[in-house]
Amino acid sequence: MASGFGVDRSADGTSGTSSSDIRKIFGALYTPGVISGCAITTSASNMSYTIAPGVVAIRPATGETILAPIAQTTIFTASAPVSGSRTDILYVQQRYPSVEGDANLVFGVGTVLPARALEVKRFIIAAGATNTNAAVATGDVAYSIPYGASLGVLAQYQDTAWADMPNALTVKGTTKIYLPTDRRLRFRLRTTLYAKGAVGFDNSKFVEYGFMPSLDDVYFTTWTTPGLHQAWSTIMFEAYATATAGTHTVKYGHFRAGGSGTAVQVYGNIAGYVREGTFFVVEDAGPVV
């Protein structure tokens, strides 16, 4: 019978904290991935890789996680292929006494990922390579996330022009982001604008300006300024979207949303007042629940 973490085994041995209980508890708290350290270093003299000390979270089975400390270790990979290329998968594997006969934590390399292993990095070995410095790193490093934690800023872009804004839809800030799990994303935009040529509240120069955040080439909402006039206006927008685990593209489009005037973006330190132009940022707002 399962027991809570840290509860002693009963006298008859039928209950108490088991290794399976602990793996399931950690499975609810950590996604698989690198927690700290574990940077991979290649070699200029031979076909070896070195992993730096660190801690990883390994997913041995659905709903289970093993937290494992890694010591600095160097391993050798096979000679480069005669033709074509080979992909080296660098991994950390937790061995089980019931399967491999020991409980060793192994830093290994292969072309397939073994059971109870976490992939740390991939490298492509070209034909004829004599050292791993010549290998090309590929893919993204998966980092473990404690449940409910934020990944922080995923992408940011700043448009620093002091210039007329385009009337037609124009794309800015295109960035690739990687999400290790399904996440909720927060899109923010801050901009300083005014209406070109307006004197006071001059309706003949009236213009509204629009911004549209995009996730994977889909504009999922539209932000519109109030009517712009002579005074500089700093305006902030915010919206949320959900995204599945994997690689995504974020960006924004801007355009004249109303009126016949021209919007002007302001940037720089003007008489002690700092104007940022347009600042666009995408942040992780936590797991999808």
Read off the pLDDT of residues 165-207 as tens digits, 9 standing for 90 and up.
Answer: 999 999 999 999 998 888 999 999 999 999 998 886 667 888 9
For the domain with range 19-138, which CATH number is right: 2.30.30, 2.60.40, 3.40.50, 2.30.29?
A: 2.60.40
* CATH 2.60.120.1340 location in the chain: 153-287
Report which DSSP code applies to 101.
S
pTM of the complete model: 0.69
CA distance 125 to 130: 9
What pLDDT is attached to residue 1? 63
Q: Model confidence over 86-131: pLDDT tens digits?
A: 999 999 999 999 999 999 999 999 999 999 999 999 999 999 999 9
Task: Check: CB of residue 156 under 8 Å from CB of residue 280.
Answer: yes
d(CA 265, CA 282): 21
Q: Which amino acid is at 39?
A: A
223-264 per-position pLDDT tens digit: 999 999 888 999 999 999 999 989 999 999 999 999 999 999
What CA dihedral angle connects 36, 140, 122 and 95, to 10 degrees? 50
The architecture that CATH gives domain 153-287 is Sandwich (2.60)
